[in-house]
Amino acid sequence: MFGDTQQTLWKTEQSVLGRPIFGAQYPPLSSKISDKSILTKPVMSKKKDQDKFNAYAINTDDAWEIDDRTMTLKIFDKNDNDGDDDDDIGISKQKPEEIASKSTQQQKSNKVTNGNDHESGRMGLRISQMKHLFLVRRSNLSTNLSSTSYPGLGRRISDQSNSKTSTSTRYNNNNAASSFSTTNSTKSNSISMVDNNQQKENKFKQIFDQTTVDLNELRKASWNGIPKQYRAQAWKLLCGYLPPKIERREDTLVRKRDEYWSYVSQYYHTRADSEHQDTFRQIHIDIPRMTPLMPIFQQVVVQELFERILFIWAIRHPASGYVQGINDLVTPFFVVFLSEFIENDIEMESFDISSLLESDRRIIEADSYWATSYLLEGIQDNYTFAQPGIQYKIRTLEELIKRIDEPLYRHLKNQNIEFLQFSFRWMNNLLMRELPVRCTIRLWDTYLAEQDGFSHFHLYICAAFLIRFSKDLLREKDFQGLLLLLQNLPTHSWTSNDISILTAEAYQLKVMFADAPRHLSHS
């Protein structure tokens, strides 16, 4: 007799009406299953079978976690006193929430009349737990079904991290357990994050403990972000400014820093000459506009430091000279190399750089110059006459968006939005104006680790960046609203996790299109 009950109990091919099911648009795999069998076949018709089941359920904890749909049918059938087929049919047609609410009320009533019945109290708690589990699973399933994905990129990674579970708070029996579970989950995530950070720090420690740094290993480790205490040294190595062999580093640094200051002595006094005064005037105008929300960049000492770096670079690279936007590219290097001399980033924004020793300021300035020179050498065609590098990247970005998100592409074209109107700044400033400085620094970890990161991988970053706001852009129905949003995308609250997602999506695009250039032909 119990064998028949067990066979019915663990059968999971049937469905409770009202519950969302993956693939529900397709017919059942088994031809033996039909709606008629679900509605007309009683789950349990004999009181004796029901009592055995109750005893079994009380003594078996994990049975309640197996399948909430089956538990709903079995437990709530206990309240059917008459046991006729019509009541069974009525229960199966009700929504799960209605079933749980009705059963809970009946269990409370039974508990009042049978206060000394331990089994009844146990069943009431089980029902409450079961309903909580059922509603949470149903909410999670609905959330997953309603999540959106962008064309060509699959389901968004951020949907998983940003989704919130809906839970019922009407049953006091569940509140403590739910709160405890949430707290444990938060603690678990925090512990996992700490463990990951510790593993990353240990990895970099192993790399830098070697007498000769393996640059390939350093690039692999840096792609997903560099710990703060290793970032300055890692950037210098990835730029080629610092040699991999530890015994050569001190001599190299002294030589390169002296070389920069010899350029300053040789050229900086010519900034007022007629052939250079236009260049210096433009630099002098652009510097105060740089990162205006950070007080440190409004300090005179810092602005003079940037003026020297940019003027010396322009004099030594006459093919391009100084172009507006280059001033932004010095900022990340300056911030990272400055961090070697201060305790934490909290003090960075308002740190008084004049409080540093002059020798330390000279080191920061020289290192920033050589790192910026490395960057600009790879993208110099962005700043030569007519800026052909930027024009090519904008055309390629437009073709890329057309391939991977055609609805967005058509929407922009229908509203007469040209890619040049918003993406020129993305290419000219490497998204410096679109992202907070902390996010730019994290992004440059990947650029420096990626081969041709600033010149090639940046294109796919821009594509992934635009697609990130596809839904918001599609809601804008006029030219003015679209252009305003494109020029002021909401990234002020972004963190390094957002940049990690962005780089992962960009890498997907690179894998799909970088080795298939015909897909991006401008025909």
Tell me what pLDDT residue 359 has. 96
- Strand locations in 115-226 (E): 149-150, 154-155
Asked if residue 521 has pLDDT above 70, the reply is no
Asked if residue 443 has pLDDT above 60, the reply is yes
Residue 127 lies in a domain: no
Domain boundary among 378, 400, 435: 378
C-alpha distances (whole Å) from 426 to each of 7, 190, 206, 299, 450 are 63, 34, 36, 27, 19
Q: pLDDT, tens digit, for every residue of 185-225? A: 555 666 666 778 899 999 999 999 999 999 999 999 999 99
Does residue 412 share a domain with residue 313? Answer: no
Q: What is the mean pLDDT of the chain?
A: 76
* pTM metric for this prediction: 0.65
Stretch 409-422: mean pLDDT:
96
Helix (H) or strand (E) holding 226: none
What is the tally of structural domains in the chain? 2
Does residue 386 share a domain with residue 373? Answer: no
> Which two three-digit tokens encode residue 41?
């076949």
Q: pLDDT, tens digit, for every residue of 163-174? A: 333 333 333 444
Q: Residue 393 sits in which domain range? A: 382-522
- Cβ atoms of 315 and 276 within 8 Å: the answer is yes
Does residue 397 share a domain with residue 372? Answer: no
Does residue 271 share a domain with residue 218? Answer: yes
Residue whose structure tokens are 């940037």: 306
Q: Supply the CATH number for residue 358's domain.
A: 1.10.8
Residue 454 lies in a domain: yes
Domain boundary among 317, 343, 378: 378
Q: Supply the CATH number for residue 413's domain.
A: 1.10.472.80
Residue 498 lies in a domain: yes
Q: pLDDT, tens digit, for every residue of 102-151? A: 555 555 555 444 444 444 444 444 444 444 444 444 444 344 433 333 33
Residue 157 lies in a domain: no
Round to whole Å and give the CA distance between 417 and 398. 11
Q: pLDDT, tens digit, for every residue of 304-354? A: 999 999 999 999 999 889 999 999 999 999 999 999 998 765 678 889 999
Round to whole Å and give the CA distance between 280 and 273. 10
Residue 238 lies in a domain: yes
Does residue 503 share a domain with residue 396? Answer: yes
Q: Specify the amino acid at residue 54.
A: N
Does residue 354 share a domain with residue 221? Answer: yes
Does residue 339 share a domain with residue 456? Answer: no
Does residue 452 share a domain with residue 511? Answer: yes
> Which two three-digit tokens encode residue 85?
């087929």
Does residue 326 share a domain with residue 420? Answer: no
Does residue 404 share a domain with residue 282? Answer: no
Instruction: Give the burial class of 78: count Cβ atoms within 10 A of its Cβ; 0-12 exposed, 13-18 middle, 19 or more buried.
Output: buried
Round to whole Å and give the CA distance between 95 and 135. 11
Domain boundary among 358, 378, 398: 378
Does residue 512 share a domain with residue 461? Answer: yes
Residue 466 lies in a domain: yes
Residue 62 lies in a domain: no
Half-sphere exposure of 221 (CA within 13 A, CB side): 25
Round to whole Å and give the CA distance between 206 and 155. 36
Stretch 440-461: mean pLDDT:
96
Tell me what pLDDT residue 195 has. 77
Residue 299 lies in a domain: yes
| Residue 98, φ and ψ in degrees, nearest 5 | -65, -40
Asked if residue 376 has pLDDT above 80, the reply is yes
Does residue 431 share a domain with residue 360? Answer: no
Stretch 267-272: mean pLDDT:
95
